[in-house]
Amino acid sequence: MTPHNIVSHEEWVEARKDFLVREKEFNRMRDELSAARRELPWERVEKDYVFEGPGGKASLADLFDGRGQLIVYHFMFGPDWPEGCPSCSLLADHYAPATVHLGQRDVSMVTISNAPLEKIETFRTRMGWDINWLSSLGNDFNRDYHVSFTPEEQQSQDVYYNYQMGSFPMTEAPGISVFAIGEDGAVYHTYSSYARGLDMFLGVYHLLDIVPKGRDEDGLPFPMGWVRHHDRYGQS
């Protein structure tokens, strides 16, 4: 841990008040950014995606479940993977309890992966999540929203992710996408975010950010190298 100055209570309060000014500036900027995000243009979803869910086949429009807005979390879980991604699982630990509250604000939220439904259901049950999780295996959804890549793309480091070409270490990537029902009844894509854009949905990171050691990820092979499935902490 980096050494810190030890000061009197009065000096501590003054330093904290100075930093509070910066925190308030950040909050105002975040509010402005959120407002600008809501003003982004929409694009109409032209394809008829069909997903496999616990209740059978479902279209993208079906996933709104009678509401006007839909959040899709693109969970990393490939067709041949034995289980879902630990980092995506950390994020699901945050949003799974929130879906009931989102429903009160005209928002449905679902999870979609490229794995077979049977594997998804087995893993979902193991993790104890009461979420609507569907399989996109066999349709273009993951490809169109740039969270699944061919092995050739991944190996050649020729992957389009987070709106740029580059490399990615796996054939599946995380992301979040938002859709809305327009006044014409059509489905529109309003927003997608990837990579560090998902950071804002990880409450555990924001809690770690307020303690002296912070995220304490220096020296790890990759930033989230400490993360495990929540039923595997304490195991070697």
For residue 9, count other CB atoms closer than 10 A to its CB: 7
The string of pLDDT tens digits covering residues 55-77 is 999 999 999 999 999 999 999 99
For 184, the token pair is 């014409």
CA distance 142 to 189: 14
- State which fold the 43-201 domain adopts: Glutaredoxin (3.40.30)
133 three-state secondary structure: strand
Q: For the chain, give the mean pLDDT.
A: 96
CA distance 53 to 60: 12
For 57, the token pair is 């086949």
| Cβ-based burial of 152 (10 A; exposed 0-12, middle 13-18, buried ≥19) | exposed
Mean pLDDT by 10 residues, the chain (236 residues): 89 97 98 98 97 97 98 98 98 98 98 98 98 97 96 88 94 98 97 97 96 94 95 87
- Token pair 């243009």 is found at 41
Task: Sort strands 175-181 and 69-74 into parallel, antiparallel or unpaired.
Answer: antiparallel
Q: What is the chain's alpha carbon radius of gyration, rounded to the nearest angstrom? A: 20
For 140, the token pair is 């273009």
CA distance 112 to 144: 13
- Token pair 């479940």 is found at 65
How much is the pTM?
Answer: 0.95
For residue 215, count other CB atoms closer than 10 A to its CB: 14
Position 199 scores a pLDDT of 95
Position 236 scores a pLDDT of 65
Task: Sort strands 43-44 and 187-194 into parallel, antiparallel or unpaired.
Answer: antiparallel
